[in-house]
A and B are shown apart, each in its own frame.
Chain A
Amino acid sequence: MDVIVAQNLTKEYNGFRAVRGINFRVREGECFAFLGPNGAGKTSTVRMIYCFSPVTAGQLTVLGMDVRTQAREIKSRLGVVPQENNLDPDLKVLQNLLVYATFFRLPQRQARATALEMLDFFGLADKADEKVDALSGGMKRRLTIARALINKPRVLILDEPTTGLDPQARHMVWQRLRRLKEQGVTLILTTHYMEEASQLCDRLVVMDQGAILEEGEPRQLIAKHIGTEILEVGFAAAREREIVRELNGLIRGHQVVGENIFLYPHDGQELLRVLQKMPFHFGHQFLRPATLEDVFLKLTGKKLHD
């Protein structure tokens, strides 16, 4: 079953088209990501899913319900982790969860049990009586996710769940999200971190300027557009044509990135040997596994981060 179906989904703000008629489906139990740079329309898209922003045009159903007419029902069954932390600073950690539970009209005893379970799951059990402002960035993020799970949703929406966290805190969040997925929760996330998308996602769409450029499984997308490896060659952009002509049979494609060229080899080691015999003077030559970043670069001609 598809938990979310979007057809020709469009969002405009005062005439600016943030989302330009996109189509996608999210399947039950998968982790689905919207990957793209800032301003790609990812947040606008998920805000329509969790019924915060009205849909300008097109169709959008969540759990079989129309976002236009059944917002309250949809919201009662979703968990939402927004981009900005909006924990209640006037309430303590446990209280944050308990008060939030009242917005879902959950019975008090059940809410308390779930809240304690969630604090435990996210490693915050000993912080129950702390002020929210006393928590670190990573803890606040985990608490926000814990709060989103208070109604035991089958679908969890995370808008840039780890932006601004240090690597350790990020890994901790990822680990918990993987466990949620194992428990059958459908995860929908937006991110501009390639690693996050490849670590967590079963499927993703690549977005840029309000449109979906590609859709698929991370590995499949890399294999389709790049292959398995990338050979980065420094200061080679000026000789692009000669290099590409010379290496014609050895590469599947290439991309100029600033002064460097990224080559997509059939066989990385072989290409490296041939390249080193060429009569040009290059900068660094670096053979590495291909990533989603390379896919994005190929699709848009630009990097995700500047």
Chain B
Amino acid sequence: MLRDLFRIDISPLVWPVFRRHLIVFSRNWKVNLTFNFFEPLLYLAALGLGLGAYVLPMEGLPYLHYLAPGLVASSAMFATTYECTYGTFIRMEFQKSFHAMVATPVTIDDVIAGELLYGTFKSVLYGSVIIIVITVLGLVGSLWVLLVPLVLAVAGLLLAIISITWTGLVPNIDNFNYFFSLIITPLFLFSGVFFPVSGLPEIIQKAAWFSPLYHIVNLTRSLVLGQVDLSLAGELIWLLAAIALLLPFPFYLMRRLMIK
């Protein structure tokens, strides 16, 4: 099994697979994008303005300024995790697209690599859209913000890996609810999007270190606010290490599912 885990057969045919997803995306990108940035805007309005009026400055910032970069990270997370659970599953199970692709020179590993790239793409795009919005709203304080898309790419790849691993482990559309209520929602709430983790009991603070979103939020917020120091390298290393560690699993699990 260990040998199977690392025998990944990918080729340049990953690109046409990814391109197929982009073509489909480009057909209704307006609708997709509109809905996706609508929700973060609601949070920004309700919590940033509404609740924020009653909240003391956080880490020296007005609440709206604190919240905005967090929402960049979280909307990237939601875009990718939805795509690589529901989206991937629908393509595999209902549309039988994977089956169609692997009847060509494309391998199942190429297909999965294409899915990961698409998940990454969604993170970058949906996070960047929120960046533009908060820039327009005057909530961005530094040119370091230009590096956020790179962070979103790393973040997107990791979240895509995690999502497809879940999809490969529990290939059942009803069980994606558990993924969101047991994993994604807790990450959303306790990774420093809405408030600093430092105010929480120590055990939760320690748990937060294991949350990918915690590191993504730290990076995003620091770059948006221009608070750049060497600790950010640590956050990036955390994400890259997690990618290196988990990368073989989506391939292995989907191969196991598809190849019979």
* Interface residue B11 (Cβ < 8 Å from any Cβ of A): yes
* Interface residue A121 (Cβ < 8 Å from any Cβ of B): no
User: Given A53-B259, A82-B99, A88 and B16 touching (CB < 8 A)?
Assistant: no
Q: Is the CB of A102 within 8 A of B100?
A: no
Q: Is the CB of A90 within 8 A of B24?
A: yes
**How many B residues have CB within 8 A of the partner chain?**
24
Cβ-closest chain A residue relative to B25 = A90
B residues in contact with A91, CB < 8 Å: 20, 23-24
* Interface residue A89 (Cβ < 8 Å from any Cβ of B): yes
Cβ-closest chain B residue relative to A44 = B260
Q: Is the CB of A86 within 8 A of B99?
A: yes
* Interface residue B102 (Cβ < 8 Å from any Cβ of A): yes
Q: Is the CB of A86 within 8 A of B96?
A: yes
In Å, the complex CA distance between A95 and B17 comes to 14
B residues in contact with A76, CB < 8 Å: 104-105
Q: Is the CB of A102 within 8 A of B103?
A: no
A residues in contact with B27, CB < 8 Å: 90
The smallest C-beta distance from A222 to any residue of chain B, in angstroms, reads 34
Write the B29-46 contact mask toward A (1 if CB under 8 angstroms, else 0): 000000000000000000
In Å, the complex CA distance between A80 and B104 comes to 8
In Å, the complex CA distance between A95 and B19 comes to 12
* Interface residue A280 (Cβ < 8 Å from any Cβ of B): no
**B100 in complex: contacting residue of A53, A88, A105, CB < 8 Å:** A88
In Å, the complex CA distance between A291 and B101 comes to 38
The smallest C-beta distance from A34 to any residue of chain B, in angstroms, reads 17
**B103 in complex: contacting residue of A13, A80, A87, CB < 8 Å:** A80
Q: Is the CB of A104 within 8 A of B104?
A: yes
* Interface residue A234 (Cβ < 8 Å from any Cβ of B): no
In Å, the complex CA distance between A90 and B27 comes to 9
Q: Is the CB of A105 within 8 A of B260?
A: no
* Interface residue B222 (Cβ < 8 Å from any Cβ of A): no
* Interface residue B95 (Cβ < 8 Å from any Cβ of A): yes
The smallest C-beta distance from B166 to any residue of chain A, in angstroms, reads 23
* Interface residue B97 (Cβ < 8 Å from any Cβ of A): yes
In Å, the complex CA distance between A91 and B148 comes to 32
In Å, the complex CA distance between A31 and B74 comes to 57
A residues in contact with B20, CB < 8 Å: 88, 91, 99, 102
B residues in contact with A82, CB < 8 Å: 96, 99-100, 103
* Interface residue B80 (Cβ < 8 Å from any Cβ of A): no
User: Given A53-B260, A72-B11, A103 and B99 touching (CB < 8 A)?
Assistant: no
Q: Is the CB of A102 within 8 A of B96?
A: no
Instruction: Please list the residues of chain B having a beta carbon within 8 angstroms of any beta carbon in chain A.
Output: 11-13, 16-17, 19-20, 23-24, 27, 95-97, 99-107, 259-260
CB<8 Å pairs between A and B, sample of 17: A50-B103, A71-B107, A73-B105, A75-B105, A76-B104, A78-B103, A82-B103, A86-B96, A86-B100, A89-B95, A100-B100, A102-B20, A103-B13, A103-B16, A103-B17, A103-B106, A151-B104
4 more contacts with CB within 8 A, not counting A75-B105, A100-B100, are A86-B95, A89-B95, A99-B23, A100-B104
